[in-house]
Structures are given as C-alpha cells and as structure tokens.
Amino acid sequence: MMKPCNRVFAALALLALAAPGWTQAVVEDAPMLRLECGGIGLEESERMRAEIDMHALTVFFSTTAGGWVTDVETRVDEPLSGQRVEASCGPIGQADVPAPGRYRISASYAGARQEHWVDLVPQGGARLSLRWQE
C-alpha cells in the first residue's frame, strides 16, 4: 500500500507530465496579432528589410529630415475583435495580423501622436512611413 505522501507525489508527477500537452493544444492554432520592433544596427535592419513580404505591415519611423527615430510608442489594433498589441518601436516595426481586415496603427513620439487606418492581409508586405518634426 502506498503512503499518503507518496500518492500526492505520484499525482503531482502525472499532472506535470500532462500539463505541457494541455497548454500546447490551446496555443498552437490561435492566430495572433504580433508586433516586432527593431532595425537598430546594419545586420538587423537589412534582415527586417529583406523580410518585408513575410509580414502584413512594415513601419519605418523617422524625422522629416530623414533621421531614424526609436522609442516610438506604437500600437496596432483591430477594433472589431478587440485584439491589440503595443511596443516601443523604431526605427522599424513589423506587424503580423491573424486575418485580413482594417487595422488602426497609432504611434507617439516626442509628444506628437499619429493615427492611420490600414487594410492589411497576412504576409501582405504593406509599408507605412511615419515622420515627425525634429
């Protein structure tokens, strides 16, 4: 006969083995709104530019004089589903969307805010340049 303490350990061990399967099944098929930020440094910038067609949208953040900016508070949301993602981006941001639709892109830098509505499709390769006064 098993002692009560051993039974508890055995039950916990079985739960630990089963838990990864539960979480994986839920996450695998769930399409998500995603925002990747970067582009600092030549290697990363070249990689992100080469991958434009793999993303729904690539956003370039710069000044009107042509200098790149970082730390742009960026948000992509799809109001009908309530999905949204936020990050501090720059000089490049790439968004992936779960389905074709109209998405709102909001960005704030140095106290100035911009908002744009964009029709996006997964892996559509759309581009948007956002510029701010220096």
pLDDT, tens only, 82-106: 899 999 999 999 999 999 999 999 9
Among 20-24, 28-32, 34-38, which range has the highest average pLDDT? 34-38
Query: Are 61 and 101 members of one domain?
Result: yes
pLDDT greater at residue 63 or residue 9: 63
Per-residue pLDDT, 15: 40
Whether residue 128 sits in one domain with residue 84: yes
**What was the pLDDT predicted at 23?**
32
Which of the residue ranges 3-7, 32-36, 64-68, 77-81 would you say has the lowest mean pLDDT?
Answer: 3-7
pLDDT, tens digit (0-9, with 9 covering 90-100), for 3-20: 554 454 444 344 444 444
Q: Is 22 in the same domain as 38?
A: no
Residues 40 and 85 in one domain: yes
Q: Domain residues for 40?
A: 34-132
Band the pLDDT of 79: cuts 50, 70, 90: confident
Query: pTM for the complete prediction?
Result: 0.76
| Residue 113 and residue 83 share a domain | yes
Domain shared by 127 and 69, yes or no: yes
Same domain flag for 105 and 45: yes
Report the pLDDT value the prediction gives residue 44, as an integer from 0 to 100: 93
Give a three-class secondary structure readout of the chain: CCCHHHHHHHHHHHHHHHHHHHHHHHHHCCCCCEEEEECCCHHHHHHHHHCHHHCCEEEEEEECCCCECCCEEEEEEECCCCEEEEEEECCEEEEECCCCEEEEEEEEECCEEEEEEEEECCCCCEEEEEEECC
Q: Indicate if 11 and 46 belong to the same structural domain.
A: no
Region 104-122 average pLDDT: 97
Q: What percentage of the chain carries pLDDT values higher than 70?
A: 78
How many domains in the chain?
2
- Answer yes or no: do 118 and 92 share one domain: yes
* pLDDT of 81 above 60: yes
